[in-house]
Amino acid sequence: MAMNDSVNILNSAYLAVEYIDSFLPDNPLQQPFKNAWNYMLDNYTKFQIATWGSLIVHEVSYFLLCVPGFIFQFIPYMQKYKIQQDKPETWEKQWKCFKTLIFNHFFIQLPLICGTYYFTEYFNIPYGWEEMPRWYVLVAQCFGCAVIEDAWHYFLHRLLHHKRIYKYIHKVHHEFVSPFGMQAEYAHPLETLILGTGFFIGIVVFCNHVVLLWAWVICRLMETIDVHSGYDVPLNPLHLVPFYAGARFHDFHHMNFIGNYASTFTWWDRLFGTDSQFIAYQEKEKKKQCITKK
């Protein structure tokens, strides 16, 4: 009975969004996107699209999303938004991070990406334009993937902080006490595999078109680069996402090596009390600001 009620609620919500969408103006980018998508289907094989297309989406998205944070370090005005102002980025750290990233991307992640085609074939996942889900379905699916990945990340990330394991794997990621955007995927190869597994669980659950793979890649990169950016910029649109953790939340984890284990949302840390030190820290900072203003 409860299951039927849940299904009815979801169906009603879907119909309501579909009704609202019918009143929205046509997206001017839809036709060019459709033309580009069909051109891709006509000129490349499924293996090429799934493998090299996924690699290109990942690499281009990753480094483009890192650009704003990289530029901020050269703009004096933006330094007031830097969370750890006493720990500026250095060329040495950024170069070291870049070299590790290139190794992880092409020797750890690329072999996994090569399995994308076989995954889509095994589950009969379509590539065609006509089968592509509407934008609001895609948004809902990406949110569902984020919820699943966040749960996986919280428990496995917390496990990697266990004193018997930490120094062998997760310590690599914590080499940078003050994180910067490009450092989001700077990690031990084993950590890339362990925490990266959470990314694929949502795909297995929700994927009904290859476009979800790419949309979820972009969403996940957008989130992880933001929380590692080291900057708490006002009017960040990601803060509109309910329970979104943000840069300050994760920056505190890098400062103290404990607590705030979730990747995207705050609910797991609140539930298990692993954000208590962060809350106490925020209260102290607010008191300091009040005293300074007086």
The closest alpha carbon to 252, from 283, 290, 281, belongs to 281
Nearest to 248 by CA among 80, 75, 82, 67: 82
Q: Delimit the domains of the chain by residue range.
A: 50-76+94-229
Residue 29: predicted pLDDT: 79
Asked whether 235 and 75 are in contact (CB, 8 A), the reply is no
Q: What is the pLDDT of residue 28?
A: 81
Where does residue 44 rank: exposed (0-12), middle (13-18), buried (19+ CB within 10 A)?
Answer: middle
**Residues 134-187: tens digit of each pLDDT:** 988 999 999 999 999 999 999 999 999 999 999 999 999 999 899 999 999 999
Query: What is the b/e burial string over 103-131, where b = at least 16 CB atoms within 10 angstroms of the residue's CB?
Result: ebbeebbbeebeebbebbeeeebebeeee
Give the separation between CA 201 and CA 264, rounded to whole angstroms.
Answer: 16
Give the global pTM.
Answer: 0.90
Closest CA to 105 of 198, 185, 176, 191: 185
CA atoms within 13 A on the CB side of 47: 2
Using CA atoms, how far apart are residues 253 and 260, in angstroms rounded to an integer? Answer: 6
Q: Within the chain, which residues score under 50 in pLDDT?
A: 1-3, 6-7, 9-10
